[in-house]
Amino acid sequence: MRSCVALIRHGEADPALVAVLGGPQAPRFLDAPPRHRHWLRVWGARGLLWALPPDPPPAAVAAVVAALDDDSWRVREMAAKVVARHRLDPALRAVERLQHDPVPRVRAAAARALRMLS
């Protein structure tokens, strides 16, 4: 789980974990230009989608909340899915802001998260 949080926060990435989360070709993104590195954050959030414990540590929740404000819509969408699945109440305000996101998929994920938090 710590490795997933590190991916979301632009930290060190374990190539083996990246391959598990993103597929066999995913480790090539470790050396990708910045415009493609958002995939690492998406995969970090995807890992938390499945690995977050029932009482998640504050650092993991904070990483998900921060991801809701990421420049990449794919990261915001995946973070909203994590919020919905794990009912992360501290993310409520950030998810509410995503109702006005310019990307329809992000708005849909935010709407589902809000339903799960209500």
Q: What percent of the chain has pLDDT over 90?
A: 95
Q: Are 21 and 46 within 8 A, CB to CB?
A: yes
Q: Are 47 and 17 in contact (CB under 8 A)?
A: yes
Domain that holds residue 44: 2-117
Q: What are the Cα distances from residue 39, in Å, to 31, 54, 59?
A: 12, 26, 20
**pTM for the complete prediction?**
0.95
Query: What pLDDT does residue 11 have?
Result: 86
Q: Give the CATH number, domain containing residue 102.
A: 1.25.10.10
pLDDT digits (tens, 9 = 90+) for 44-81: 999 999 999 999 999 999 999 999 999 999 999 999 99
40 phi and psi angles, rounded to 5 deg: -65, -40
The number of distinct structural domains making up the chain is 1
Give the start-end residues of each E strand in 1-118: none
